[in-house]
Structure 1
Amino acid sequence: MRIDGKASQRLLIVLALVALYFIWGSTFLAMRIAIDSFPPFMMAALRFVIAGALLFAYLCWRGAVVPGWREWLGATAVGGLLLAAGNGAVAYAEQTVSTGVSALTIATVPLWMALFSACWGQSPNKREWSGIAVGTLGVVILTMGQSLQASPVGALVLILAAASWAFGSVWGKVLPMPTGAMASAAQMLGGGLVLVLASLVAGESWPRQISQASVAAIIYLIILGSLVAYSAYLYLLKTVRPALATSYAFINPLVAMWLGVWLAGESIDATEYLALAVIVVGVLLVLPIKWPGIR
C-alpha cells in the first residue's frame, strides 16, 4: 500500500512526538546518572559537542551545504539558549533536585512560549492566558514541596532554564538558520561550545574516577537524547504549531517521576503531585483542542 505525502508526514510527526514524550522523559534520569561522575557543564558539553560533531561530519559526507557565518551565529544563539542555558542548567540543578521535580519544572515551557510569542506579535488568547495563570500557580505550589524548598537555588535555575528554552525556541524561528538536519548539528556544536566555556569558568575538572553507568548514560544522551530526540524537536517546531511541538512537556514529568522512583529511589510528596496536576491543566489550556494540522 502506497502512502501519500501528507500521510507520510503525519507518520513522521507521530514518531517525533513519541521520541520526545518517552526519550526526553528518560533523559532526566540519564543526566542524573551521568553527573555522578562528570561535572554538570562538562557532561552537557561532551554530550552536545560529540553529537553535533558526529551529525555535522555525516551531513558533510553526504554533501550538505556548510552554514554561512550568519547561520552559525543564529544557531549558536539558539543552541546557547536551549542547550547551554536550558539543558545545561537542568544538569546543574539535578545535583540537588530530583529528576521528577526537574522535569515538572520544565513542563512550564509551553506556558513560557505562549508568553514569549507576544514579542513577535502572537499575543496569547484568553484561553492561553488562563493556562499561563494556572501553570504559574502550579509552579508556586511546586516551590512549596520538599525538593525545591531544600534547594532554592535549584528552583531558580530550573525556572530560568524553562524560560530560556522557550525563548530560544520562539526566537529561533526568526533567526538565520541552517536548513534540515544541519540546524541540529550547528545548534549542538554552538551550544556545546558555550557549555565548554561555562565548564571552564566554573572551574570544573576531569573526574578521577568514571563509572560505567555514567559512560553508558552519556552515550544514551548523545545517541537518543540528542541525535534522535533533539532533531525530532526541531522538525516539529518547523512542521506543526508550537503548542503541539511542546506538548511533550506534560508527558516528560510522568516518565521522569516514574523512572526516578523505580530506578533511583526518589520520592515525590503530596505537594509535588498536586503541582503536577495543576501544571498539566495549565499546559492543556495552552494546547489547541484540535489536532493543529500540518502547516
Structure 2
Amino acid sequence: MEEKNPSTGNIVFAYLVVYIVWGSTFFFIEKALHSFPTFVLGSIRFIIAGALLMGYCGLKGYRIINRADIKQAVFVGFLLLFVDMAAIIWAEQYISSGIVAILSAATAIWFIIFDKPKWKENFSSLPIVLGLLFGFGGVVMLFAEQIFTQSDDTEKSQNLIAMAVLTFGTMAWTIGSLFSKYNQKNKSAIKKKQPSLNVMVKTAWQMVTAGVAFTIVALLNGQYTSFSASEVPLESWGYMAYLALMGSILAFSSYIWLLQVRPATEVSTYAYVNPIVALVLVHFFTNHNVTALQIAGLVIVLFSVLLMNWNLYKNNRTFRAIKHRKKLKRLKYMAPKSSIPRIIEVADFNEKEKNKN
C-alpha cells in the first residue's frame, strides 16, 4: 500500500472510507444487536477480521512472530478492541448509536488527562484547557439529557449506566493508545535483535486477541449456549460482514495508508466526521429521536476536540503554507509595484531552502 506519489483519487477514496465507514459502524452495531448477543457479536466480528488480516499478512510475506511485539499487541488489543468495543456494543443495547458516537469523540479529553509526560505542555496551553472545559461540558449535556428525559426511572438508570460504561471504555482506549505510543518510543531507542513486526501484523494480533477475549466471555456467560446461527436472518449476517470486512479491515487499512501519505493532523479529522455520519444514520434509519440537546452536545464536543488539537493544526504544514500565502499577498499590496517581483523571488527562494532542509 506504500506509494510515493499517490493519486488524488486514491486519497479521496481512502478518506471517504475512513469518514463514512468508520462513522457508520456505530449504526451497524446497533442493527446487528437485534440478532447477535453482545459478546457473540464481538467474537464473530474480530475472529473473522483477525483471521483474514493475518492470512493477508502471511500471503504478503510479512514476519508473523516476534514475542515482544505480540506481547504488546495482546495488551493493546485487549484494551482497544476488547474493553472499548465491549463497552460500545454493550452500551448500544440501551442508548442510540448517535450518542455512543458523540461520547466516543470525547476520547480526546482522556488523552489530555492521562498523557502525564505532556501535562506541562498541555495544561499551559489556553486552547487545550478551554477544549477540556468545553469537552466536559458537552459530555455533561448528554448525561443531563438522560437524567431529565421523561422516561421511567428504570430506563433512565440503564441509560446512565450504559453511558458510564462507555466512558470507561474510552478511557481504556486512551490508556492502550498511550501505552502503544510510549512503548514504541522506548523500543525504537533500543537496538533490537529482531526486526519489528509490520503494523498490519500487529493489528491482526490485536484483532485475534479481541476475538479470543470476546469468545471466552461469550462462552462463560452462556451467550454462545443460547445462540443459534441458523436463526440469524441473512440481513444480520450482512451487518456482521460489513463490520468485519469494511469496518475492521478496509477502514483500518485505509487509515494506516493515509497516515503514510498524508499529515497525521489531516487524517485525524475523521474524529469530526464520524459522529456526524452516525447521527445522520440514526435520524433517518432508526426510531431514535435526535434531539436539539444531542446536536448541541455534538457541536460542543467537536469544538472541544478542535481546541485540544489546535497546537497541532497551527503547526501543520498546510496551515503554515496558507498563512505564508496570505502574508505574501499583504506584502504585494503594501510594496511598490517595482518591488513585487523581488518579494515573490525571495519568498520562492526561502520556500525552496526550507524544503531542502
Match of 2:191 in 1: none
Counterpart of 2:144 in structure 1 is 144
Shift of residue 175, structure 1, vs aligned partner: 3.4
1:110/1:247 contact within 8 Å kept = no
More moved, 126-135 vs 100-109: 126-135
Could you say what secondary structure the match of 2:6 adopts? Answer: helix
C-alpha distance in structure 1 between counterparts of 2:261 and 2:76, whole Å? 18
Q: Which amino acid aligns with 2:168?
A: L
- The answer to which structure has the higher helix fraction is 2
> CA separation of 1:104/1:207 partners in 2, compared to 1, >3 Å: closer, same or farther?
same
Give the paired residue count: 290
Cα distance per residue 1:134-181 (max 9 Å; x no partner): 101110011012489451111111111222222222221233663232
Secondary structure in structure 2 of the residue aligned to 1:145: helix
Change (3 A) 1:118 1:127: farther
TM value normalised by structure 2: 0.73
Partner of 1:155: 163
Q: Does 1:32 align with 2:30?
A: yes
Asked whether 1:203 is paired with 2:225, we answer no
* Structure 1 residues 15-30: aligned runs within 5 Å: 15-30=13-28
The CA distance in 2 between the partners of 1:81 and 1:145, in whole Å, is 29
Query: Measured at CA, do residues 40 and 270 of structure 1 come closer, stay the same or move farther in structure 2, by a change above 3 Å?
Result: same
Q: Distance in 2 between matches of 1:89 and 1:252?
A: 18
Q: What's the secondary structure of 1:173's corresponding residue? A: helix
* Pairing 1:272–2:294 present: yes
Task: Name the CA distance, whole Å, in 2 between partners of 1:112 and 1:240.
Answer: 25
Q: Partners in 2 of 1:105 and 1:95 — Cα distance? A: 15
Match of 2:316 in 1: 292
TM-score, normalisation: structure 1? 0.87
1:13 CA drift (Å)? 6.3
Q: How far 1:9 sits from its partner (Å)?
A: 9.2
CA root-mean-square deviation? 2.7
**Cα shift at 1:244:** 4.8
Say which is worse superposed, 180-189 or 216-225, in terms of deviation.
180-189
Amino acid at match of 2:227: P
- The match for 1:174 is 182
Distance 1:204 1:275, change over 3 A: same
User: Is the CA contact (8 Å cut-off) linking 1:19 and 1:229 kept in structure 2?
Assistant: yes
Amino acid at match of 1:53: A
Q: Deviations over 1:198-237 (max 9, x none)?
A: 3234331252321222100010011110001223445566
Report the 3-state secondary structure (helix = DSSP H, G, I; strand = E; otherwise coil) of the residue aligned with 2:115. Answer: helix
Mapped to 2, the partners of 1:14 and 1:117 lie a distance apart of 32
| Counterpart for residue 58 of structure 1 | 56
The aligned runs of 1:1-295 (5 Å cut-off) are 5=4, 7-8=5-6, 15-119=13-117, 123-124=121-122, 125-146=125-146, 149=156, 151-175=159-183, 178-205=197-224, 206-208=226-228, 209-234=231-256, 244-288=266-310, 289-290=313-314, 292-293=316-317
- Percent of pairs with identical residues: 28
Summarize the Cα distance change of 1:90–1:241 in structure 2 as closer, same or farther, 3 Å threshold.
farther
Q: Distance in 2 between matches of 1:66 and 1:27?
A: 28
Deviation larger for 259-268 or 23-32:
259-268
Distance in 1 separating the partners of 2:244 and 2:110? 27
**Which of structures 1 and 2 has the bigger CA Rg?**
2
Once residues 259 and 206 of structure 2 are traced to their aligned partners in structure 1, the CA distance between those partners, rounded to angstroms, is 14
